[in-house]
Amino acid sequence: MTVEGELLWTPRPEFAEASNVARFQRWLRRERGLDLPDYDALWRWSVNEIEAFWGAVWDYFDVQSSTPYHAVLSERRMRGAKWFEGSQLNYAEHLLRHEAEAPERIALHHLSELRPLARMSVAELGGQVRRLATALRELGIGPGDRVVSYLPNIAETAVAMMATMAVGAVWSSAAPEFGVQTVVDRFAQIEPKLLFAADGYRFGGKDFSRTAEVRRIAEALPSLQTVVWLPYLDAGAAAPVAQARSWASLLDRPAVAREAFRYERVPYDHPLWVLFSSGTTGLPKAIVHSHVGALLEHLKLTHFHFGLGPDSAMFFYSTTGWVMWNLVLSSLLTGGAAVLYDGSPAHPQPDLLWKLAADTGTTFFGASPTFIQMMEKAGLRPGERFDLSKLDAIMVGGSPSTPETFAWLYDCVKRDLWVTSQSGGTEIASGFVGASPTLPVYAGEIQRRMLGMDVHAWSDDGEELVDEVGELVVTRPFPSAPLYFWNDTDGRRYQEAYFDVFHGPDGEDVWRHGDFIKINARGGCYIYGRSDSTLNRYGVRIGTAEIYRAVEQIEGIADSLIVCCEQSGGRFYMPLFVRLKDGAVLDETMIRAINARLRQDCSPRHVPDEILVVPQIPYTLTGKKMEVPVRKLLMGWPLEKAASRDAMMNPAAIEPFVALAGRLAAAR
């Protein structure tokens, strides 16, 4: 049996020496006179000399800007940091910059349950982006305008995103399995001018029409001026709104030469996209990143921590509603290819994604621990069935990994394999802790803190912890921190989300991410799930407020509370607790109604594992639902450490949860 921390793999010397990390170290020695002999020395320099590090990243990757920057970082502060002030650049231009040198190189492999595997060269991709961007300009879309998408994970969505960025507009995306209210809660905040929408999608062999949903979404967004309609599920599907423009009509125009096209190079603080990460109260957080922040972070991430290059192909199973979709497309920054798939990961066969990896020559494969567990239960051994000779690395992400997950990959996929577990978030569009191809792999362990990320484990008192579980904090600024939250005019919501708990010795901001982390003496990291009440189920964060909004519309429900508990083997237990109105009964009819409402208004991932009746929902004296204490109880914490009765509005309300925690502990 594999145990936590067991050595599983050591990189071959030639593999480590050929890595982008090693190349960067040699460049620093040659160009900067810095002798940083190993990854740990490189990391220490990157967080102690953050201006020098990020300036080196800019130079090493030859970032293209119309104007020089005044300073790498105007001052060392977390909120309001100005990175590369004075620069003007475009993220999409860098995604497609390799077109000139290798126009026939594959940029996209794309497969869905509706379409066979196809490929698109970087010249074809660039050509479609330029034609669509030109059409967007003709429609009046320009810098700062918001463009939103309700499209599946297909090539058209990638083209739409890049074209939006190319003209300086601001991109945001929701997956088509999201219900109407979930989409409107997101998009209404940013008042989009144009919506890309498809008529539906296929999952697990079943078709899901979204025509009616698109109509309702459009009606709920008064700022919309244009809907671009993509009949994907049914080629003959009519647009549900008047005066919609068809996708085909926008692309039906003469080619636009690369030399003749003008990317909108925007200032350092211009918004690139709005990503949504749900909080526990109110609407989902509308997180804004900049072109320059995302570009610098993704150049670092894809090259140094994913190990990608011109001969790479990156896949991660994702939907368009998750930041991992954006990160898959960021692989184009390296000159490599992105691999897209839309549909069930196990239909029609459970090993479908491994076949896709073989057919596309995937070098970097990503999936959740839950997916790996599903493979193990099915008794699959992909390495024996498919040619995975090009596969160098597997990233297990989205939730904490286990030693058993690592062991299965080495036993059933490939012995010589760089298995990485990485952890970050939508908030930063990247990772805090991750991998280096120059280091060994230990079971269940994330190899190191990422370059430029000054990550630590802190106690509740703000003391540094080693070999103990604490709060994940970041003590120095980094470029991909959010510019701001949309409509958060006074910055209060941003402040409360990350900076209200910890402060440095001089009162400076310290980022508290909301994850439990352990960093051992050699620098290896372990993530132990959420320390706050945001739900993280199968790698997708879900705001409790979204669930309450839907559930409490059900007739007979007076109040509710939901938590998500990580379990061994990548599993989750997400119970929903409800307080019923007088005379109401939680019968099968009500359970079906609750689940249907969550599936329709939110997504299938919002459906709980169990629904339980409690006499009262516990609240604090300040009127907040006690989600964090309940979650801690159910994960085995004693009551005296999970909650203070003196801080409860009604101390008796916690008793049913204490009793449930006891039953769960006895059943383990």
CATH of the domain spanning 7-90+286-530: 3.40.50.12780
Q: Is the per-residue pLDDT at 533 higher than 80?
A: no
pLDDT band at residue 515 using 50, 70 and 90 as cut-offs: confident
Rg of the chain taking only CA atoms, in angstroms: 24
Average pLDDT over residues 641-668: 86
Q: CATH classification of 535-667, choosing from 3.40.50.300, 2.60.120.10, 3.30.300.30, 3.60.21.10? A: 3.30.300.30
- Single out the residue of 531, 508, 563 nearest to residue 460, CA to CA: 531
- Nearest-5° angle of CA 533, CA 451, CA 405? 55
Average pLDDT over residues 248-275: 97
pLDDT band at residue 282 using 50, 70 and 90 as cut-offs: low
pLDDT band at residue 532 using 50, 70 and 90 as cut-offs: confident
Those residues with Cβ within 8 angstroms of residue 463's Cβ, 6 or more apart along the chain or in another chain: none
Q: Is the per-residue pLDDT at 280 higher than 60?
A: no
If one compares 501 and 532, the residue with the highest pLDDT of the two is 501
pLDDT band at residue 182 using 50, 70 and 90 as cut-offs: confident
Domains of the chain by residue range: 7-90+286-530, 122-264, 535-667
Rounded CA separation 111/114 (Å): 8
Query: In this prediction, what percent of the chain has a pLDDT beyond 90?
Result: 78
pLDDT at 278: 60
pLDDT at 49: 98
Rounded CA separation 244/603 (Å): 26
Contact of 464 with 414, CB cutoff 8 Å: no
- Nearest-5° angle of CA 511, CA 516, CA 522? 95
If one compares 313 and 321, the residue with the highest pLDDT of the two is 313
pLDDT at 617: 93
pLDDT at 478: 98
- Single out the residue of 228, 239, 238, 295 nearest to residue 268, CA to CA: 295
pLDDT at 377: 81
Q: Is the per-residue pLDDT at 622 higher than 70?
A: no
- Using one digit for the tens of pLDDT, what is the confidence trace for 315-337? 999 999 989 999 999 999 999 99
- pLDDT averaged over every residue in the chain: 93
Predicted TM-score (pTM) of this structure: 0.88
Domains 7-90+286-530 and 122-264 share a fold: yes
Q: Is the per-residue pLDDT at 355 higher than 90?
A: yes
- Using one digit for the tens of pLDDT, what is the confidence trace for 487-510? 999 999 999 999 999 999 888 999
CATH of the domain spanning 122-264: 3.40.50.980
- Using one digit for the tens of pLDDT, what is the confidence trace for 28-48? 999 999 999 999 999 999 999
Those residues with Cβ within 8 angstroms of residue 560's Cβ, 6 or more apart along the chain or in another chain: 547, 548, 551, 552, 576, 577, 578, 579, 617
Average pLDDT over residues 161-179: 96
- Using one digit for the tens of pLDDT, what is the confidence trace for 221-242? 999 999 999 999 999 999 999 9
Least confidently predicted of 85-99, 212-226, 411-425, 638-652 = 638-652
pLDDT at 281: 52
Rounded CA separation 438/273 (Å): 33
How many residues are present in the chain?
A: 668
SS (H, E, C) 588-648: HHHHHHHHHHHHHHCCHHHCCCEEEECCCCCEECCCCECHHHHHHHHCCCCHHHHCCHHHE
Backbone torsions φ then ψ of 307, nearest 5 degrees: 70, 30
C-alpha separations of 312 from 329, 390, 393, 463 in Å: 12, 9, 11, 41
Rounded CA separation 640/630 (Å): 12
Q: Is the per-residue pLDDT at 112 higher than 80?
A: yes
Question: Crossing angle for the helix pair 211-219 and 180-190, nearest 10 degrees?
Answer: 40
b/e per residue, 25-48, with b = 16+ CB within 10 A?
beebeeeeebebeebeebbebbbe
> Residue 547, exposed/middle/buried by CB under 10 A (0-12, 13-18, 19+)?
buried
Q: Is the per-residue pLDDT at 155 higher than 60?
A: yes
pLDDT at 553: 83
Q: Is the per-residue pLDDT at 564 higher than 70?
A: yes
pLDDT at 606: 82
